[in-house]
Amino acid sequence: MRRRATALLALAGPTVLGACGERTLDDRELESTLKQQLDSSAGVTSQGVVCPDDVVAERGRRFECTLVAPNGDQVRVDVRLTNSEGGFSANVPREQPDAR
């Protein structure tokens, strides 16, 4: 059975890091920004957001983060970088797998 979640859109720009080689997003700043924006949009206080480490800051790159809902359910968040400076859009798909 699948749960339905509300689709949300978030825009922001976490810090881009990288003295040498490829520039990557600051995953902690991205997680914090996503948490604040998703909590505000949904009117709840989640337990947190977890995103992958070392995401290359490249326009169009897509990846998934996980929001931990107040009740402990894990919710997939699809993220797409809108520029190479860390701007992004995020969407919580309406169809979510069963709670983990």
Tens digits of pLDDT across the chain (100 residues): 344 444 444 455 555 555 556 788 888 999 999 999 999 988 889 999 999 998 999 999 999 999 999 999 999 999 999 988 888 999 998 888 765 5
24: number of Cβ within 10 Å:
17
Tokens matching residue 67: 């929001």
DSSP 5-59: ----EEEE-PPEE-SSSS-EE-HHHHHHHHHHHHHHHHTS--SEEE--SS-B--T
The whole model's pTM is what?
0.78
* Cα–Cα distance measured from residue 28 to residue 36, given in angstroms and rounded to the nearest whole number: 12
DSSP code of residue 77: E
Residues in the chain: 100
